[in-house]
Amino acid sequence: MSAQIGVTGLAVMGANLARNLARNGYTVALHNRSVEKTDALLEKHGGEGDFIRTESLQELVDSLEKPRRVLIMVKAGAPVDSVIEQLEPLLEAGDIIIDAGNSHYEDTRRREAALAEKNLHFVGVGVSGGEEGALLGPSIMPGGSRESYDSLGPMLEKISAKYNGEACCRWIGTDGAGHFVKMVHNGIEYADMQVIGEAYDVLRTAAGIEPADQAKIFTEWNTGTLSSFLIEITAEVLAHTDDRTGKPFVDVVVDSAGQKGTGRWTVVSALELGSPTSGIAESVFARGLSSQRGQRELAQGILEGHEGTVELPEGFVEDVRLALYASKLVSYAQGIDMLTAAATEYGWDLKLDEIASLWRAGCIIRAELLDDIMKAYAGDARPANLLLAPAFAESIAGAVPAWRRVVATAVQLGIPVPVFSSSLAYYDGLRRKRLPAALTQGLRDLFGAHTYNRVDAEGTFHTLWGEDRSEVEAVDTH
């Protein structure tokens, strides 16, 4: 018996993907650096399908049908390079190495190029849905060559989540495209969680609504346009009471949010692409600030808040819902804008409707909204920005009055709402006829002769600030 796919790296994610493949009828060869993990998996779940136990990478490779498919699920970074280095001499032209971890897309591009020279396919695959998704059906974002997808795609589609019967897995594009899209997914995931946190904070601090009652509000919100996995689990976490103290669970958790880096990568990449991903950036910075516990403690004793008093407008809870909806929409718009910029930069033919479609189930950001986002980009529709798609232009405009009230209230009361407010600033920045960037250009021209364009004439100009302030046409821009 030979296996259709081998999996090396059997920590929870790798083990669950292997089990998912076996449960879907594939014969799966198993390998782990320490054989105990392999045996533990076989002992507990060996009955779920056909597995082949192996003790070395050589044995793993020997157990596979050709072209071989080897899926690596180890920690991103150097461990991936190390496994590739060991595997490569054991493989033959046409074989496929699959990296299903959260690798940086630049690493994936580098690895793909190096292995292509040796006639090996390297497929960086974004996988979302956490441990449960890996087992029951994740959202899958494969990059790599089209040819490798012909061999691998059907398997990945079979084990992926389904939305109304449609597989949440599509070939994303060449080399690092799959990992890039997964990275942006995570950036949006950060922003999504931050806006939920801001809504919670405003409801609690401004309106005095306790976590258990908020759980009911979030459950209610989960039935409307906000319906999503993250809203659903927010209700679950807020409803939870700590066993030890009887307090709301959120009150006994240290308020410093960790991160493994994918959100940060998204922002670094957005900066490089020149894509204004302010909401996602603020959500990463919010985690950073939350983790500066020493400074925060000192500041509590030193920095005055001078909070104002605010009479909450009627329907404040609904206002918060709309502010959350609008800010969330901006994060998606910014993430998608980044995808568009990356497609140009890296030569990827990213299909935005397909990407939205495979985020509809299985992944952490799965949401009803994604079905509408998919429709906004379907067919020939290419809105320059998600917010300009007619359906969204209308729904976000409808939320604006409430959004402004919530941001103003939070500012008055000293409640930090970095994503609510920066998203509103983005919205206003996008729609304003004139921006103060004109003044910035003037300043740049004065101190550095950086030149500017005029609203009423073609060409590039410079004012002779140190002389008679006459204007000259500039040849060079610097």
Which residue out of 182, 198, 282, 328 is catalytically annotated? 182
Q: Please, what is the minimum distance in Å from the beta carbon of residue 106 to ligand 6PG?
A: 18
CB of 133 to ligand 6PG, least distance (A): 6
Cβ closer to ligand 6PG: 262 or 463? 262
Which DSSP string do the residues of 110-138 spell out, in sequence order?
A: HHHHHHHTTT-EEEEEEEESHHHHHHH--
Shortest Å distance, C-beta 253 to ligand 6PG: 15
Of 262 and 409, nearer to ligand 6PG (C-beta) is 262
Q: Would you call 182 a catalytic residue per the annotation?
A: yes
CA distance 8 to 31: 5
- Determine the straight-line distance between the first and last CA of the chain, rounded to whole angstroms: 66
State both tokens at 302.
């030193």
Pairing of strands 28-31, 5-8: parallel
Active-site residue, selected from the candidate residues 112, 157, 189, 198:
189
Which is nearer to ligand 6PG, 323 or 363 (by Cβ)? 363
Query: What's the CA gap between 295 and 307, in Å, rounded?
Result: 21
Annotation says 189 is catalytic: yes
The residue (of 188 and 374) whose beta carbon lies closer to ligand 6PG is 188
Cβ 257 to ligand 6PG shortest distance, Å = 8
Q: Which tokens hold the place of 74?
A: 């180890």
The residue (of 18 and 91) whose beta carbon lies closer to ligand 6PG is 18
**CB of residue 216 to ligand 6PG, shortest distance in Å:** 26
Rounded to whole angstroms, the Cα distance separating 441 from 423 reads 24
Q: How far is the CB of 77 from ligand 6PG (least distance, A)?
A: 14
Query: At CA 279, angle to CA 201 and CA 365, rounded to 5?
Result: 80
Comparing CB distances to ligand 6PG, the nearer of 128 and 214 is 128
Interface residues with ligand 6PG (CB under 6 A)? Answer: 102, 128-130, 186, 189, 258-260, 262-263, 363-364
Check if the beta carbon of residue 154 is closer than 8 Å to that of residue 38.
Answer: no
Closer CB to ligand 6PG, residue 38 or residue 128? 128
Q: Closest separation between CB of residue 174 and ligand 6PG, Å?
A: 22
Q: Which residues are identified as catalytic?
A: 182, 189
